[in-house]
Structure 1
Amino acid sequence: YFRLSIRSPPQIPEVILPEDIFLGVASALRIELNRAFAILRDISSGKDLKKFLMAIAGLWVLSILGNCCNFLTLLFVCFVLLHSVPVLYETYEDQVDAFAEKAEAEIKKQYAVFNVKVLSKIPKGPLKTMKLA
């Protein structure tokens, strides 16, 4: 009643990954990591006050989000946003661009006021160099 047939094993294609693509990706990743480390060095050394304040604000926002929800919830929200925001942007691109231009102008105006009232009053002296013993 049952008929057994012996089949030949399936043909699996050979996969060869080109070396130049991986070297290009590794090189681009190295360049971006070096750029990120340079930015982190500037922030930590106090050379760029604007970046330093932006880092403080970003960490403050992250701490607020961390207190409101756990990691899996935050991961799920990021996943949903990463899949829905590009579609919404493509649908309403003109309105979003117009609003972003207005918001950017307002932020620049508020930063100019903040710069005049607060940042310009901070004394800037030469950075002290550490003496190695």
Structure 2
Amino acid sequence: MADHDSAPEKHEKSGESLMEKVTEKLHGSDSSSDSDDDKEIKSAAYSMKAKIYRLFGREKPVHKVLGGGKPADVFLWRDKKVSAGLLGVATTIWVLFELADYHLLTLVCHALIVALVIIFLLSYASNFVNKARPKVPKVVIPEDIVLSLASAVTIELNGALAILRDIALERDIRKFIAVIAGLWFISIIGSCFNFLTLCYICIVLLHTLPLFYEKYEDQVDAFAEKAEAELKKQYAIFDAKFLSKIPKGPLKDKKHL
């Protein structure tokens, strides 16, 4: 009886010692340990980390999810000057075209007029002060950047069209309804804002939401886990009441001659 009673106590002590080792390892303890203990601690720490819910099943840091490199640094405000500059330019464009009711063609023409007047005055004034003409750099749009941008946009559009085609041909009623609801929601948002305002909102969200999520990811993931559980519960009720009662015809392969 004594042996049977001591078995749970030994199991509890071993579990407590393992948790203590994991805690010491995570807090940077200086105590030495054997290679077997290190493997045990790493496996336990990995299993504990794997149990943590992450939004959209994320396994990488936010910086890696955003693609890493310069774009991720801009969205996460690692380079504050560039991030503030891009957001400031986007805000200026939105204010000019939306609040000041400016037009793109008018803005381009006015900018060219100002540039030509400044260059002409500098060149004309150089004749009176006996100085060489001012060196004006040539403005050339790089062809490689334009072609790569057009290629990237084309690839993304073709991929999106292929996905929509596959969804329409799969005859999966659940996925079909989800896509229709998503497109309907986007159409409602598009009817509330014009294209420029919608683009500006997307830029502002890209400069704020990733930074906010990286700072409060634990709290956001905990809330998202509860929300996802509730959505699954409501979807199960909707499936039981409506989707499961939709008759499904037999799928027959048709041979096209």
Q: TM-score, normalised by structure 2?
A: 0.37
1:62 offset after TM fit, Å? Answer: 1.1
Q: Does 1:100 align with 2:224?
A: yes
5+ unaligned residues in a row in structure 1: which ranges?
5-25
Matched ranges for 1:1-133 at <5 A: 33=159, 37=162, 39-127=163-251, 132=256
How many residues are paired up?
Answer: 107
- Measured against aligned partners, the alpha-carbon deviations of 1:43-62 in whole angstroms (never above 9, x if no partner) come to 21252222111111111111
Residue-by-residue CA offset, 1:28-82 (whole Å, 9 max, x unaligned):
x79x93x972x32332125222211111111111111111010000000001001
**Any runs of at least 4 consecutive aligned residues in structure 1 with deviations exceeding 4 A, and if so which?**
128-133
Compared CA separation, residues 104 and 36, structure 1 to 2 (3 A): farther
Q: Distance in 1 between matches of 2:183 and 2:203?
A: 20
Structure 2 stretches of 5 or more lacking a match?
1-129, 133-151
How far apart are the structure 1 equivalents of 2:190 and 2:161?
A: 24
Q: Say which SS state the counterpart of residue 123 (structure 1) adopts.
A: coil
The percentage of aligned residue pairs carrying the same residue is 61
- Alpha-carbon RMSD across the aligned residues, in angstroms, is 2.9
Structure 1: which amino acid aligns with 2:210? P
Structure 1 Cα separation of the partners of residues 236 and 166 of structure 2: 22
- 8 Å contact from structure 1 (residues 42, 48) kept in 2: no
Larger RCO, structure (CA 8 Å, separation 6 or more) = 2
1:131 shift after superposition: 6.7
Mapped to 2, the partners of 1:97 and 1:56 lie a distance apart of 27
86 and 97 in structure 1: CA distance in 2 versus 1, 3 angstrom threshold: same
1:94 corresponds to which letter in structure 2? D
In structure 2, C-alpha distance between the alignment counterparts of 1:122 and 1:55, rounded to whole Å: 18
Between the aligned partners of 1:51 and 1:78, the Cα distance in structure 2 is 26
In structure 1, how many angstroms separate the alpha carbons of the residues matched to 2:220 and 2:248?
Answer: 39
Q: CA deviation at 1:101?
A: 0.2
In 2, the alpha carbon distance for the partners of 1:69 and 1:127 equals 42
